[in-house]
Amino acid sequence: LWQLYNGRHAPGEHVRVFPLSNWTELDVWQYIDREGIELPQIYFAHEREVFARNGMWLTAGEWGGPKDGETVEKRLIRYRTVGDMSCTGAVDSDATTLDAVIAEIAVSRL
């Protein structure tokens, strides 16, 4: 592994290593499944109030939406990352289990 990186650094500089950098989203979910890691329900699809903007489903809130002409609707969606809803878009999804998430990602081209 260390042959892939330039390990030289000057005194006072820091070295950061990200061992999962080359993992895909599918790799991560398959690892979770293989290791039997329990996840909170927030990682799975839920019916939520969202609006469409630039091809993404966003959650309504004081941080910027919806704007005029953007209609809020209830949809079954899943966030592919868990972060701040003010900047994270969701995807249509009925994946409410780990197996369903893996199957969904395996055929996704997004």
Over residues 49-83, the pLDDT tens digits come to 999 998 889 988 887 789 999 999 999 999 888 77
pLDDT at 110: 67
Dihedral angle of Cα 100, 102, 107, 109, to the nearest 10 degrees:
120
The span from the CA of 66 to the CA of 50, in Å, is: 9
* Percent of the chain scoring above 70 in pLDDT: 93
Residue 29's domain spans which residues?
A: 2-107
pLDDT at residue 101 greater than cutoff 80: yes
- Averaged confidence pLDDT in the chain: 87
State the pLDDT at residue 1: 59
Closest-CA residue to 101 (of 24, 33, 21, 20): 33
pTM of the model: 0.74
- Total number of domains in the chain: 1
Take residue 77 and report the two structure tokens written for it.
Answer: 């969606």
